[in-house]
């Protein structure tokens, strides 16, 4: 009788593992879908923390069958709701977005390395060279701009002579030398970005007014230091 009871217990144990794993699998898939479609390398710090916590919480009911599976489900969905709330506030408030996601930092500007920024970010020259090589840039003197994004990735803009030729280049209309910067996002002026293209709030408002728009009607505005700009209006 003891052996028979043991076999039944083993069967129940396996069944519980299968059921719990299946339920948690679909819950985690749902959670990731709700949080949005980002690749692992593109996760913001808060999103990475949420992802790690979800994986840890999901493992607990599988390791301890005495723990109700609802504990894992409730904890997972609570984290998802928190992430969604943070995302909404980040869309509405620039200060909130800076607090949770930080700012992109320009490491190389106009071909000049910002050594103070490197020290502040604790990025060594070998680290910078390694990341550039990963983007198939082996000569740092070819780089016009290098920006460390909030997700830890490095965006690189080469100087015009080293950029891949476009259709306009072949037609004799080369692209202007200058990196477009995001100046207005969802009707809000980004003060840090204005400095890099030598603009102030009055200049931005003047450009918006010249296009028969109000600031609240601007979804995206980019500008470069050579005076070029582009505006995307908000959808009604």
Last residue of a domain, one of 83, 98, 113: 98
Residue 88 CB coordination number (10 Å): 11
Which residue from 106, 104, 95 is spatially nearest to 150, judged by alpha carbons?
Answer: 104
Q: Which residues contact 20 (CB under 8 A, 6 or more apart)?
A: 61, 62, 65, 69
Which residue from 189, 193, 196, 194 is spatially nearest to 218, judged by alpha carbons?
Answer: 189
The verdict on 204 and 130 lying in the same domain is no
Domain count across the chain: 3
* Assigned token pair, 148: 């460390």
Q: Name the E strands within 137-206.
A: 143-148, 154-158, 181-185, 188-189
The verdict on 18 and 74 lying in the same domain is yes
The verdict on 78 and 12 lying in the same domain is yes
- Tell me the pLDDT band of 167, cut-offs 50, 70 and 90: low
Last residue of a domain, one of 130, 161, 176: 176
Q: Are 76 and 34 in contact (CB under 8 A)?
A: no
The verdict on 7 and 93 lying in the same domain is yes
Q: Are 145 and 112 in contact (CB under 8 A)?
A: no
The verdict on 160 and 190 lying in the same domain is no
pLDDT for 219 beyond 80: yes
What is the model's pLDDT at position 173? 58
Instruction: In whole angstroms, give the CA distance from residue 210 to residue 214.
Output: 10
Instruction: In whole angstroms, give the CA distance from residue 60 to residue 64.
Output: 6
Main-chain dihedrals φ then ψ at residue 158, nearest 5 degrees: -80, 160
The verdict on 169 and 185 lying in the same domain is no
Last residue of a domain, one of 80, 98, 116: 98
Q: Which residues contact 4 (CB under 8 A, 6 or more apart)?
A: none
The pLDDT tens digits of the residues spanning 118-142 come to 889 888 888 889 989 988 889 888 8
What is the model's pLDDT at position 177? 57
CATH code: domain of residue 227: 3.30.240.20
The verdict on 84 and 137 lying in the same domain is no
The verdict on 91 and 110 lying in the same domain is no
The pLDDT tens digits of the residues spanning 74-108 come to 888 888 888 888 888 887 887 888 787 778 888 98
Which residue from 189, 198, 41 is spatially nearest to 109, judged by alpha carbons?
Answer: 198
Chain-centroid distance, C-alpha 128: 20
The verdict on 107 and 169 lying in the same domain is yes
pTM of the model: 0.61
Q: Name the E strands within the chain.
A: 105-109, 112-113, 143-148, 154-158, 181-185, 188-189, 218-223, 229-233
Q: Which residues contact 220 (CB under 8 A, 6 or more apart)?
A: 182, 184, 185, 230, 231, 232
Question: Which residue range is the domain that position 84 belongs to?
Answer: 2-98
Residue 70 CB coordination number (10 Å): 10
Main-chain dihedrals φ then ψ at residue 106, nearest 5 degrees: -85, 115
Question: What three-state secondary structure class fits 121?
Answer: helix
Which residue from 180, 156, 178 is spatially nearest to 232, judged by alpha carbons?
Answer: 180
Overall average pLDDT of the 226-232 stretch: 84
């Amino acid at each position: 009788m003891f052996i028979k009871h043991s076999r039944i217990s083993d069967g129940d144990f396996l069944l519980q593992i299968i059921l719990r794993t299946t339920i948690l699998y679909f819950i985690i898939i749902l959670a990731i879908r709700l949080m949005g479609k980002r690749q692992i390398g593109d996760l913001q710090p808060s999103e990475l923390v949420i992802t790690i916590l979800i994986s840890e919480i999901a493992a607990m009911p599988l390791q301890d069958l005495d723990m109700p599976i609802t504990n894992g489900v409730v904890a997972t969905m609570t984290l998802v709701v928190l992430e969604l709330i943070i995302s909404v506030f980040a869309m509405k408030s620039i200060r909130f977005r800076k607090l949770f996601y930080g700012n992109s930092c320009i490491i190389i500007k106009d071909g000049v390395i910002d050594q103070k920024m490197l020290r502040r970010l604790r990025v060594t020259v070998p680290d910078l060279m390694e990341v550039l090589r990963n983007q198939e840039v082996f000569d740092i003197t070819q780089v016009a701009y290098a920006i460390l994004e909030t997700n830890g990735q490095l965006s690189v803009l080469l100087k015009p002579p080293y950029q891949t030729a476009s259709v306009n280049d072949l037609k004799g209309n080369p692209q202007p030398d200058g990196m477009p910067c995001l100046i207005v996002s969802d009707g809000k002026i980004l003060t840090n970005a204005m400095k890099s293209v030598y603009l102030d709030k009055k200049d931005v408002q003047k450009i918006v007014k010249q296009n028969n728009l109000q600031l609240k009607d601007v979804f995206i505005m980019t500008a470069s230091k050579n005076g070029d700009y582009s505006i995307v209006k908000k959808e009604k």
